[in-house]
Amino acid sequence: MQVDRSVEVQVEDVPLKKGVRGEVSTEDTRSPAPQVVPPASATPATTERAPPAASLLANKYILLNPTEGCPLHKCIDIVTEEEYVCRVVGRDCVSLVTAHFRLDGHPRINSLHEVVLGEEYMYLVFPDSYGDLHSYVRQRKRLRESEAKRLFRQVAETVKECHEQGVVLRDLKLRKFVFSNPSRLVSFFFPLFKT
């Protein structure tokens, strides 16, 4: 496989702890600069420049590239090595953050872990989830009526609570409902709102 050498990748020199997964490696002791592994999606036929493979966010998180077809970035806390999900939005998207604070503390709403303000963007950091309802239903193909009833009740209660707090959900999709723990308690995941 040939790699397009004309693609520029910018990486800040971030000291990584062992075990942190990412596309930046500082393991080579012969070279003081980090090595960058080209993203798997970069092919010689692409004409667009690839964004950085990883970047440092607020000297606290390593922000990785988003997955294809999803606006969310995976980010890793440098100290604790915990994985989070990050949504990058313009600083003018205050209504999204306001909606989160209206519903803060509700057990069925995915909590906002941290908001990082950059020069141009806001970075909304959320705890990682255990999959989404859409993927779960597709994987299972069929649900027993009792399980479908339990999941639907959780979704309906979540939508009801949002409406009672004055938050209107514009585009309901199963993919926006994530499991907040392994026992499949459903939470609504705001970052998938179009902003």
Q: pLDDT tens for residues 64-110?
A: 988 777 788 999 999 999 999 998 888 888 888 888 888 888 888 88
Which pLDDT score, from 0 to 100, does residue 9 have? 36
How much is the average pLDDT of 15-39?
37
Q: What is the band of 33 on the pLDDT scale with cuts at 50, 70, 90?
A: very low
Which pLDDT score, from 0 to 100, does residue 183 have? 79
Query: Which of helix, strand or coil describes residue 104?
Result: coil
Residues of the chain with pLDDT > 90: what percent?
27
Which pLDDT score, from 0 to 100, does residue 143 have? 94
Sign of CA dihedral 88, 93, 99, 102: positive
* Inter-residue contact 19 to 25 (CB < 8 Å): no
| 30 pLDDT higher than 60 | no
pTM here is: 0.64
Q: What is the pLDDT of residues 121-152, one digit of tens each?
A: 999 999 988 888 999 999 999 999 999 999 99
| β-strand pairing of 177-179 with 186-188 | antiparallel
Burial class (CB in 10 A: 0-12, 13-18, 19+), 161: middle
Which pLDDT score, from 0 to 100, does residue 189 have? 67
Enumerate domains of the chain plus CATH numbers. 24-127 (3.30.200.20), 133-192 (no CATH)
Which pLDDT score, from 0 to 100, does residue 152 have? 93
Residues paired with 115 in a beta bridge: 124
Round to whole Å and give the CA distance between 35 and 56.
15
Instruction: List Cβ neighbours of 144 (8 Å cut-off, separation of 6 or more).
Output: none
Neighbours of 90 (CB within 10 A): 11
* Inter-residue contact 184 to 150 (CB < 8 Å): no
Which pLDDT score, from 0 to 100, does residue 190 have? 57
* Inter-residue contact 97 to 124 (CB < 8 Å): yes
Cα separation values, 1 from 7, 23, 38, 42, 43, Å: 15, 18, 12, 11, 9
Which pLDDT score, from 0 to 100, does residue 8 have? 39
Neighbours of 63 (CB within 10 A): 22
| 52 pLDDT higher than 80 | no
| 45 pLDDT higher than 90 | no
